[in-house]
Amino acid sequence: MTIPTRNHPDEILIGLVSISDRASSGVYEDKGIPALEEWLGRALISPWRAETRLIQDDAATISATLIELVDETGCDLVLTTGGTGPARRDVTPEATLAVGTKEMPGFGEQMRQISLNFVPTAILSRQVAVIRETASRAALIVNLPGQPKSIRETLEGLRDETGNVKVPGIFAAVPYCVDLIGGPYVETNSAVVTAFRPKSAQRAPR
């Protein structure tokens, strides 16, 4: 089992997986991974490092990639984008559930709740989240939508006209979840998304 080498004790290793037959074959440019890297660059104030994978929409490939990122590369968090709709080739949720040891249904529920503020077809999205546990470590794996705008909305949530949070984004819960499974302490830029922790789990600000 690989023990990840961190440049800082609080550095979080994040796997970014874009799942698309056409992008992985070079038909068009992938937009999922650049969107995730840009958002994380704005949202995180603690150290982070990304491992990126662009793969085809194939259940065996997706599951193998998630296992590799967690078990071998040592990622604490894996974010996937794409392959979560009802089409026959959309198998990301099934491949994710196959490698998880605990399902985290609240993430998918909240993502659909956010997206329903924009489009009624949000009910067609099948995103899931799981914890993958090994003998020595654990990681959170979350399926995100495929479009950059939807990725940002589901991670950040919705704000009203005064800038106050109206519907929390899912990333508000990610740092504390990572704490609970033994990962590094992640801090966020509150102008983008505020990480929620109970007072007993909070450190003094940097």
CATH number at residue 176: 3.40.980.10
CA distance 57 to 18: 9
| 181 falls within a domain | yes
> Is residue 5 situated within a structural domain?
no
Q: Is residue 60 part of a domain?
A: yes
The four Cα atoms 172, 173, 174, 175 give a dihedral, to 10 degrees, of 80
- Residue 9 has a pLDDT of 87
In a domain, 86, yes or no: yes
| Residue showing tokens 């090994």 | 134
Q: Given pLDDT bands bounded at 50, 70 and 90, which one contains residue 206?
A: low
Is 42 within 8 Å of 192 (Cβ atoms)?
A: yes
pLDDT at position 2 is 57
pLDDT at 27: 66
CA distance 127 to 85: 8
Domain housing 71 = 12-195
pLDDT above 90 covers a percentage of the chain that reads 83
Give the strand pairing for 157-159 and 138-144.
Answer: unpaired
Q: Is residue 81 a contact partner of residue 40, using CB atoms and an 8 Å limit?
A: no
Token pair 């796997």 in the structure block, residue: 15
> How confident is the model over 89-100, as pLDDT tens digits?
999 999 999 999
- Does the residue 200 lie in any domain? no
Residue 140 is assigned to a structural domain of this protein: yes
The residue-averaged pLDDT of 58-77 equals 97
Tell me, yes or no, whether 147 lies in a domain: yes
Query: Using CA atoms, how far apart are residues 114 and 182, in angstroms rounded to an integer?
Result: 28
Q: Would you call 186 exposed, middle or buried from its count of C-beta atoms within 10 A (0-12, 13-18, 19+)?
A: buried
Work out the burial of residue 130: count CB atoms within 10 Å of its CB; fewer than 13 is exposed, 13-18 middle, 19 or more buried: buried
Residue with tokens 């007072």: 199
- Cβ–Cβ < 8 Å for 53, 16: yes
Specify the amino acid at residue 152.
Answer: R
- Is 190 among the domain residues? yes
CB atoms within 10 A of CB 21: 14
Could you give the number of structural domains in the chain? 1
pLDDT, mean over the chain: 93
* Tokens at 204, concatenated: 């003094």
Average pLDDT over residues 198-203: 93
